[in-house]
Structures are given as C-alpha cells and as structure tokens.
Structure 1
Amino acid sequence: MEEYILKTREDGTTITVRDLQLKLLEMLKDIDIVCRKHKVQYWLTGGSCLGAVRHKGFIPWDDDADIGMLYEDYLKLLEAVKDLDPKKYIVQSFETHKEYNVLIPAMKIRLKHTYCEEYNALLKNKCKDSDGIFIDVFIIDYVSENHVKDFVWRCRNGILMLLIAALENLHINPLPLKKRYVRNARKYGKQNQDSPMIGFDLTWCFNSFFHPVVYPKESVFPIQYVPFEDTMLPIPKRPKDLLDAEVSVNHMSYPPKKDQQPKHIKDIAF
C-alpha cells in the first residue's frame, strides 16, 4: 500500500495519512458509542461514506472524516458529546464558542494533545482552546423542491458568508451577522420540514448554488451499519443517492493517479 506522507519530523520520522486515519478511527468509535447511547442518528458523509462503500474503510489518501445528521439529532448531539472523555476531547461549535467560525461545519470534535492546520484560510479555526485533529459534523436539513426558492435562500446566506469571511479576516467577530446566518439556516429548514428532500443546511454554502447537494430523505433512513476498517459504522440506507449528489455519479471509479493525494491538512503533530 502506498504511503502518503503528511509531515516529516525533525528527527526524520514521518506522520502518514494512515497514522492520521487510525487516530480518526479511534475518535469515530468513541463518537459512535455516545451517539448510540443518546439515540443520535447520524451517518458518514462525503469521502468517509465513499470509503465505507468502496473500500470498507478510509479512502487510502483521505485525510479527514465527516459525519452528518438531521438538525433534530444535532440538538441531541450537543448533549451527547458531554459524555465524551473531557481529558481526551474538546467540542467546538457556535453553541459552545461564540468566536466559532460559522462558515465551517456546525461542529468539530477535536482530539486533545494533537495539532492540525487546514489549507483553506477561509476555514481557519477561531477557537483558542484547541487546534487538534478533528471529526467534522455537518447538519443535514430539509430543502425546498422549488429550485428558484432554494437558489434565493442560498444566495442570501452566500452574501452573508462573504461579509462574515471579510470581517473575520480583519480579526473582527461579526456576532450579529453570524447569528443571522445561522438563524436563516434554521428558518429555511423549518419552512421545508414537509419536503421529501434533504441536504447540507444553509450554513454550508461552499457547494454550487445551482447544483446543491440534495437527496431524498427516504434514501437515508433507516441507516445501516456496515464494515469500516475493524468496526461497523453507519451510512445511508441507499448511499448511492448521497454519493451521486455529494461526490460524483462515477464515485465507484478511482480518480486519476494525480488526484489520489491528501488535500486538507497543511500541518500536523501528535
């Protein structure tokens, strides 16, 4: 198996993608325990879901891990994570840290005594209590079947996203704008709670406004536990719908060799 090196230490030893994946796997197992205990329904998303389907574990070059859940389960998660070992984990979200960058996933569960820096400057961590290795938690919410209405709402938060990013980069915490940004997302989800379609909530505006990640709710539930490395983790009932929307309709085909590289981590230490 090819080794993907993330960092070479001063003593010549290396930190590889596989080293990171083993840490992330440990974290996913701990998160799964508290989610089961508190009946939080969640599933692997993005590359993590693709890894489960195509590799029965991590994609060999994948350097992060993502989970998603409906907003109602996210509210449960805010309580459930209190059962994580406080000596081991720090939980960061807008609910726990008012300086939290609302342009990134709704929550980051970080591993203490580790460090990582992401490439994208827009996604910088604003919380000072930890820059540790993390699991991203995305809120999945109801979306309108009316494409025009959906587009308008995404543009509305897209404009706020640009304003928030500009102020954050000037080291200003635009708390009123952040509250409005999150409030818009909650309002839009609530307006469409009878819709059969779900997708990333409006706090995640990085996907195209014209082609947002949307798929049928019925393709997710009931979730199924499938082999993932040496454990079992949850994915949607019909993962193809999610992966077609979030990755590619050709998701079972490997990308060109030049694209088989880690892309998220700029620096790392543990």
Structure 2
Amino acid sequence: MANATQTHLVTMVRELNRVLTASHIEFFLIGGSAIGAVRDHGLIPWDDDIDIGIKRENIPAFVAAVQQSDLMDHYRLIIPGETPDYYFPTYKLLLDLSGTDAPVDVGTGFQGVFIDIFALDKTYANKYLRRTHQLQIRLDQIRLDLAKGVTNAADNLGAFKNVVQNQAKQKSKQQLFAKYLRDIQKLKRLKKGFIYYNFGSPYAWDRERYEAPEVAKAVLIDFEGEPFPVAVGYDAIMTRTYGDYMTPPKQADQKPKHLE
C-alpha cells in the first residue's frame, strides 16, 4: 500500500507527464523509477522519489513548459544556478511542505516530496577523452565541497591537494558552482563521437552512461496505471548500472534513501 509520500509522487508525475507530453518534450523514467516501471509497473514499494532524465538540449523547453503551466500553482521548480543556496546539478519539482511533519531530504534539506529531473549531458564516447571530462567535473565538485565547508574533500588528491584547496579559497560558492555547471555542459555542441551521461549520478564513473542509440527514442511502459516513457535501450542501461535489476535487493536493503 502506498504511503503519503508515494501518493503525492504519483499525482506529481502524472501532472508532469501531462505538461511535458502536451509540449512534446521528450523525457524518460530513469534509475529506480525505470526499474519500478519494468519490474513492478509502478513505484518500487520502498522508493521515496521519482527519477526522470531529459537530454540537455531539451532542458530549456522543459523549464519553460513547467514555469508556464499550472504546476507552478502547487509546486516549486528547483533550478541549478538560479535557486538560492542550492548547489546540485539536478532539477527538482518540489511539493514544498516546509513547517509540517513531512520528511526532509537528506541531501538538500528540502522538506516535502520531489521528482528529480536529471539533465543527460553529452560527453566523449572515447573512454580516454571521457575520463578527462569526468576528472574535470570531479575537481569542480571537490572545490565546491571545500567552499561549502567539507574540509576533507581533497584528502585523496595527494600532491594536488594544496593546489585545489587554494583554488577553492579564491572563488565564492556561487562562482565555483557556475563553473561546475559550465563544465558539465561544455560538450553540448558535439555532433558525433558522443554519449549521454548523468553527471548528477551517485554511481561510479561510467555506470550511468547512455549510448546514443539507447536513448534515441522511448517505449511506453505501464507505471501506476498509466503509460510512461522509458528509454528504448533500458535493459542495457539498467544492466550496466545495476546488474540483475529484475531481482529485488535483500529485505534489509529495501528502505528509502532520500527522506528521513
């Protein structure tokens, strides 16, 4: 039986689907939500958020469609680089329940229920070139973490530790975050030799990558009683990310990960 958070999530994702479909904006259920669609035909029973992926080239249209819709009567759109004191690359559609007894997101401190919208960015298909891009983003993250007060963020950098620490001291959090976002998007004009990548992923390098043919189009799969788009290459994507995604984790691991 769905809990209050999941009841809100189902309502939210149906409303978002309505707006994006009407505006002809391509999106996919990804991550645990894609697993839920394929394996459970709905939310994973213990899940506490919904994950959506949108190619970077469609993000401006997504933002405009949401901001011009009736969704803004009920929800907040959290936008990286625009929402104050928010330093993550992930967009969020938030049902703000501040001041209530609703759970709080561990990562951001937002109180309420949210859909995560991940921009899928272009990076190099060539592994060695891709590593240079990934390393640049990782160093951006470390500088930002240092500026946010995570004092041990650079501890694994060896001889580069002092250099990165000094770089972090020379810029504000806002400046460091702006550079982080620019570097994530730096390859958006690539016309060939690219894959899509979720730089907001919690997983190790390359686990959540998307080969271009895998996200060339969507297939519709039943999710909470309605058809929702999942990337055509979902099996390859989720096998790469999760391994045997059709087998649920052991009971001890069947618990929410974001809200407390």
Which residue, out of 110, 127, 136, partners 2:94?
A: 110
Instruction: Tell me how far apart the structure 2 counterparts of residues 84 and 71 of structure 1 sit (CA, whole Å).
Output: 23
SS at match of 2:111: coil
Runs of 4+ in 1 over 6 A off after TM superposition: none
Q: Deviations over 1:102-150 (max 9, x none)?
A: 3x52x1111134643223xxx324xxxx633110000112221221211
Shift of the alpha carbon at 1:231?
A: 1.6
2:154 corresponds to which residue?
Answer: none
1:153 partnered with 2:153: no
1:254 corresponds to which residue?
Answer: 248
Shift of the alpha carbon at 1:196?
A: 5.1
Shift of the alpha carbon at 1:98?
A: 4.5
1:163 corresponds to which residue?
Answer: 143
Q: Deviations over 1:31-88 (max 9, x none)?
A: 1111012111000010000000000101111111110010111111110111133331
2:168 corresponds to which residue?
Answer: none
Q: Are the equivalent residues in 2 in contact too, given 1:109–1:134 (CA < 8 A)? A: yes
1:187 corresponds to which residue?
Answer: 186
1:86 corresponds to which residue?
Answer: 72
Structure 1 vs Structure 2: percent identity of aligned residues? 22
Distance 1:85 1:255, change over 3 A: closer
Report the AA paired with residue 185 of structure 2.
R
Q: Are the equivalent residues in 2 in contact too, given 1:144–1:197 (CA < 8 A)? A: yes
Shift of the alpha carbon at 1:153?
A: 1.4
Distance 1:205 1:215, change over 3 A: closer
The CA RMSD over aligned residues, in Å, is: 2.2
Instruction: Tell me how far apart the structure 1 counterparts of residues 10 and 201 of structure 2 sit (CA, whole Å).
Output: 27
Instruction: Tell me how far apart the structure 2 counterparts of residues 205 and 46 of structure 1 sit (CA, whole Å).
Output: 9
2:204 corresponds to which residue?
Answer: 208
Shift of the alpha carbon at 1:261?
A: 1.6
Shift of the alpha carbon at 1:212?
A: 3.9
Q: Deviations over 1:194-224 (max 9, x none)?
A: 2352221x4x264323x34213221223212
Instruction: Tell me how far apart the structure 2 counterparts of residues 221 and 124 of structure 1 sit (CA, whole Å).
Output: 32
Instruction: Tell me how far apart the structure 2 counterparts of residues 111 and 162 of structure 1 sit (CA, whole Å).
Output: 30
Which residue, out of 237, 261, 264, partners 2:258?
A: 264
Q: Are the equivalent residues in 1 in contact too, given 2:81–2:177 (CA < 8 A)? A: no
2:195 corresponds to which residue?
Answer: 197
Distance 1:86 1:145, change over 3 A: closer
1:25 corresponds to which residue?
Answer: 10
Report the AA paired with residue 252 of structure 1.
M
SS at match of 2:197: strand
1:223 partnered with 2:210: no
Instruction: Tell me how far apart the structure 1 counterparts of residues 111 and 149 of structure 2 sit (CA, whole Å).
Output: 18
Structure 1 spans left out of the alignment, 5+ residues: 2-16
SS at match of 2:185: helix
Structure with the larger helix share: 2
1:144 partnered with 2:124: yes
Shift of the alpha carbon at 1:28?
A: 0.2
Q: Are the equivalent residues in 2 in contact too, given 1:157–1:205 (CA < 8 A)? A: no
Distance 1:98 1:238, change over 3 A: same
Q: Are the equivalent residues in 2 in contact too, given 1:223–1:234 (CA < 8 A)? A: yes
Structure 2 spans left out of the alignment, 5+ residues: 151-170
Q: How does 1:22-61 map to 2 (within 5 A)?
A: 22-61=7-46
Shift of the alpha carbon at 1:154?
A: 1.0
SS at match of 2:177: helix
